[in-house]
């Protein structure tokens, strides 16, 4: 064999799987079809600004799977995180502005010692809280977030906000997302919350130096552990012999032999194009074909002539009834009237090295359906109007902007360019998510499209799926250390 494992694609799932394998002494080859690593989680230089592919906020930042993936190749000290501090939530006309550290300082001033006590208490209780919440979540996989919320309140602004959050976190409206998924996401936050309280910060974070630093560090780690990362190489097909993978063929005809393949190219794309449906039984192929992608997203990137955006993150929900707005957008594929809800971050506020001195970068995103007939110039204007609505006066400071439509993300190879990956909707979340283990021996799917029992937020679910798939392989290989085999028995009930 040329390599112990070939990874198709350097998105976060691919990089994490590659890092876990390389860190365990396996010879890994990562093949990436674009010129840069990171897939949808990347950064490029434009006119002196380092611009990310989206306004990425990392749910648990240094407390979650990012840190674990980096550790596998000893890169945990190479990537820094900025914990979000200054925020504004604007639901309707009323902005709620706060600085997390100031909020915590004020709490501690009024009730001295409260933070330390809460942190210690949470640290002790978090593991059992997580277990209880995870069990509870399973009961709510048949109930939508909308139904769940309606049991407690019919307050419209709260419903609007949660509907929007569901789109941002899971790529689906809250009327289609299981409440269990939200409970699991919250449960993941209990341990980071305990850690963060002690340092007077929250777990939400941003990767210093731009998003690309994370996949880049993993790829460097893979190379330092004897692996190879080749960009600009497309895998055209996965070679299958007698029900097992035998290697891959690239666009320039090279055949690379390997009996282990991690595909980060998307589960549908892998089955349909890279392997070919004829290698799977009909029922499985149909099931994969019927999987629903999550919503797409647009992204407005602003280069400002001076720092006028005073927040790390802004969430703005302008319309009185966003549910109507989203229903219109989701079902009728039209540009709805009114302004979209947005999330905006300023990477250069969190890391000044990302913009020329005295200037500022701001990135705005919103969910959207993908229809090539969509009137994108109308959407672009809406994007500009919505950030002006959230932060009045910002338009006067725009030196230049660009607008990424869902079509921009098609380069990463999805059928219709979802922003996150698979929709985490009813029937596709938690235990109902498609397994990373394919019916073909040696083939695993990684990324935000597969991983039974994986839950949570986009970049993290992608990273976790890569780690889980690699760990599964390592635990099952012949001659795995006894400790692995014991752990395997413990984990036997948890399939990936
Ligand atoms: C605008 C926007 C904003 C977002 N905001 C957030 C956020 O705030 N927080 C968050 O957590 N997530 C966010 N996300 C989602 C997040 O970026 C994705 O869910 C995550 O990066 C997906 O990772 P993945 O492992 O599935 O790989 P992908 O990013 O899909 O990467 C797959 C890689 O495989 C390569 N590839 C595909 N086919 C082949 C082939 N045949 N041969 C070789 N290479 C191939 C592609 O080029 C690509 O590099 C956002 C996404 C967008 C678009």
Asked whether the predicted pLDDT for residue 252 surpasses 70, the reply is: yes
Closest-CA residue, ligand 1 atom 3, reads 54
Give the Å distance between the CA of 193 and the centre of ligand 1.
27
pLDDT for the residue 157: 81
Q: Are 219 and 43 in contact (CB under 8 A)?
A: no
Asked whether the predicted pLDDT for residue 426 surpasses 90, the reply is: yes
Atom index in ligand 1 nearest the CA of residue 36 equals: 49
What residues contact 220, with CB distance under 8 A and at least 6 apart?
73, 75, 78
State the pLDDT confidence band at 480, using cuts at 50, 70 and 90: low
pLDDT tens digits along 88-104: 998 878 889 999 999 99
Give the Å distance between the CA of 11 and the centre of ligand 1.
5
Asked whether the predicted pLDDT for residue 276 surpasses 50, the reply is: yes
pLDDT for the residue 485: 47
Ligand 1 binding pocket includes 180 (Cβ within 6 Å): no
CA atoms within 13 A on the CB side of 264: 36
Ligand 1 binding pocket includes 299 (Cβ within 6 Å): yes
pTM for the model: 0.95
Q: Are 295 and 171 in contact (CB under 8 A)?
A: yes
Atom index in ligand 1 nearest the CA of residue 274 equals: 41
pLDDT for the residue 166: 93
Q: Which residues on neighbouring strands pair with residue 97, listed in sequence order?
A: 88
Closest-CA residue, ligand 1 atom 18, reads 420
Give the Å distance between the CA of 484 and the centre of ligand 1.
31
- Please give the share of the chain, as a percent, with pLDDT higher than 90: 72
pLDDT for the residue 212: 97
pLDDT tens digits along 395-416: 999 999 999 998 888 888 766 6
State the pLDDT confidence band at 37, using cuts at 50, 70 and 90: very high
Q: Measured between alpha carbons, how far is residue 152 from residues 95, 113, 149, 282, 421 in Å?
A: 24, 33, 6, 44, 30
Indicate the burial class of 180 (C-beta count within 10 angstroms; 0-12, 13-18, 19 or more): buried
Structure tokens at 397: 């400071």
Structure tokens at 443: 């083939």
- CA-nearest of 429, 443, 490, 471 to 185 is 429
Q: What are the DSSP E strand ranges found in 305-358?
A: 313-317, 342-345
- CA-nearest of 65, 38, 37 to 465 is 65
Q: Select the more confidently predicted residue: 324 or 301.
A: 301
Closest-CA residue, ligand 1 atom 51, reads 419
Give the Å distance between the CA of 158 and the centre of ligand 1.
30
Ligand 1 binding pocket includes 175 (Cβ within 6 Å): no
The phi and psi torsions of 72 (rounded to 5 degrees) equal: -60, -25
pLDDT for the residue 314: 96
Asked whether the predicted pLDDT for residue 261 surpasses 70, the reply is: yes
- CA-nearest of 384, 105, 152 to 162 is 152
What is the phi-psi region of residue 182: left when phi exceeds 0, alpha when psi lies from -120 to 50, beta otherwise? alpha
Distance CA 466, CA 392 (A): 42
Asked whether the predicted pLDDT for residue 371 surpasses 80, the reply is: no
Mean pLDDT across the chain: 91
**CA angle centred on 454, ends 451 and 455, rounded to 5°:** 140
Q: Are 17 and 468 in contact (CB under 8 A)?
A: no
Torsion sign across C-alpha atoms 6, 10, 12, 13: negative
Ligand 1 binding pocket includes 57 (Cβ within 6 Å): yes
Closest-CA residue, ligand 1 atom 14, reads 420
Atom index in ligand 1 nearest the CA of residue 298 equals: 1
Q: Select the more confidently predicted residue: 94 or 24.
A: 24
Asked whether the predicted pLDDT for residue 483 surpasses 60, the reply is: no
Asked whether the predicted pLDDT for residue 323 surpasses 80, the reply is: no
State the pLDDT confidence band at 196, using cuts at 50, 70 and 90: confident
The whole-number average pLDDT for the span 4-20 is 98
The greatest distance separating any two alpha carbons of the chain, rounded to the nearest whole angstrom, comes to: 69
Asked whether the predicted pLDDT for residue 496 surpasses 50, the reply is: yes
Given the structure tokens 């407005």, which residue do they identify? 300
Ligand 1 binding pocket includes 56 (Cβ within 6 Å): yes
Asked whether the predicted pLDDT for residue 357 surpasses 60, the reply is: yes
Pocket test for ligand 1, best of 43, 56, 251 (most atoms within 8 A of CB): 56
Give the Å distance between the CA of 449 and the centre of ligand 1.
10
Closest-CA residue, ligand 1 atom 45, reads 9
What residues contact 151, with CB distance under 8 A and at least 6 apart?
none
Asked whether the predicted pLDDT for residue 364 surpasses 60, the reply is: yes
Give the Å distance between the CA of 41 and the centre of ligand 1.
6
pLDDT tens digits along 214-250: 999 999 999 999 999 999 999 999 999 999 999 999 9
The whole-number average pLDDT for the span 126-145 is 91
Distance CA 351, CA 348 (A): 5
Asked whether the predicted pLDDT for residue 441 surpasses 70, the reply is: yes
Ligand 1 binding pocket includes 31 (Cβ within 6 Å): yes
Asked whether the predicted pLDDT for residue 490 surpasses 50, the reply is: no
The whole-number average pLDDT for the span 68-79 is 97
Structure tokens at 395: 């338009």
DSSP 8-state code for residue 152: T
Asked whether the predicted pLDDT for residue 492 surpasses 50, the reply is: no
Asked whether the predicted pLDDT for residue 479 surpasses 70, the reply is: no
Distance CA 415, CA 123 (A): 43
Q: Are 69 and 58 in contact (CB under 8 A)?
A: no
């Amino acid at each position: 064999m040329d390599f112990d494992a070939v990874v198709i694609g350097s998105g976060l799932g691919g990089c994490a799987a590659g890092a876990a394998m390389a860190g365990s002494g396996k010879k890994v080859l990562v093949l990436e079809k674009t010129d840069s690593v990171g897939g949808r989680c990347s950064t490029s230089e434009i006119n002196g600004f380092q611009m990310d592919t989206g306004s990425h906020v990392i749910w648990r930042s240094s407390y979650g799977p990012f840190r674990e993936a980096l550790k596998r190749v000893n890169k945990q000290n190479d990537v820094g995180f900025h914990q979000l501090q200054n925020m504004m939530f604007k639901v309707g006309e009323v902005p709620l502005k706060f600085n997390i550290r100031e909020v915590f300082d004020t709490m501690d001033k009024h009730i001295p010692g409260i933070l330390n006590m809460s942190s210690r208490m949470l640290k002790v209780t978090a593991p059992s809280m997580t277990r209880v919440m995870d069990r509870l979540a399973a009961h709510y996989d048949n109930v939508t977030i909308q139904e769940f919320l309606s049991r407690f309140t019919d307050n419209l602004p709260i419903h609007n906000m949660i509907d929007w959050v569901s789109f941002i976190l899971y790529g689906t409206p809250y009327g289609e997302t299981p409440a269990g998924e939200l409970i699991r996401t919250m449960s993941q936050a209990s341990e980071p919350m305990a850690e963060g309280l002690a340092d007077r910060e929250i777990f939400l974070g941003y990767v210093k130096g731009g998003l690309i630093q994370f996949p880049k560090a993993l790829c460097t780690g893979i190379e330092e552990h004897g692996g190879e990362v080749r960009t600009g190489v497309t895998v055209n097909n996965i070679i299958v012999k007698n029900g097992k993978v035998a290697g891959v063929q690239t666009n320039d005809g090279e055949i690379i032999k390997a009996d282990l393949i991690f595909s980060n190219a998307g589960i549908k794309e892998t089955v349909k194009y890279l392997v070919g449906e004829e290698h799977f039984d009909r029922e499985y192929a149909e099931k994969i074909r019927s999987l629903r992608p999550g919503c797409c997203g647009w992204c407005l990137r602003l280069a400002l002539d001076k720092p006028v955006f005073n927040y790390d993150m802004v969430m703005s929900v302008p319309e009185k009834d966003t549910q109507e707005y989203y229903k219109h957008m989701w079902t009728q594929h039209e540009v709805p009237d009114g302004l979209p809800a947005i999330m905006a971050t300023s990477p250069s506020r969190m890391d000044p090295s990302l913009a020329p001195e005295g200037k500022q970068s701001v990135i705005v995103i919103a969910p959207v359906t993908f229809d090539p007939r969509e009137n994108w110039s109308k959407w672009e204007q809406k994007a500009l109007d919505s950030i002006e609505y959230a932060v009045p006066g910002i338009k006067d400071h725009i030196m230049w902007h660009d607008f990424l439509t869902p079509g921009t993300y098609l380069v990463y190879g999805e059928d219709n360019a979802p922003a996150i990956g698979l929709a985490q909707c009813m029937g596709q979340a938690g235990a109902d998510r498609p397994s990373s283990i394919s019916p073909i021996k040696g083939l695993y799917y990684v990324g935000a499209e597969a991983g039974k029992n994986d839950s949570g937020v986009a970049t993290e679910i992608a990273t976790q799926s890569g780690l889980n798939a690699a760990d599964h392989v390592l635990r099952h290989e012949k001659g795995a250390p006894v400790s692995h085999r014991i752990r395997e028995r413990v984990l036997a009930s948890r399939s990936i």
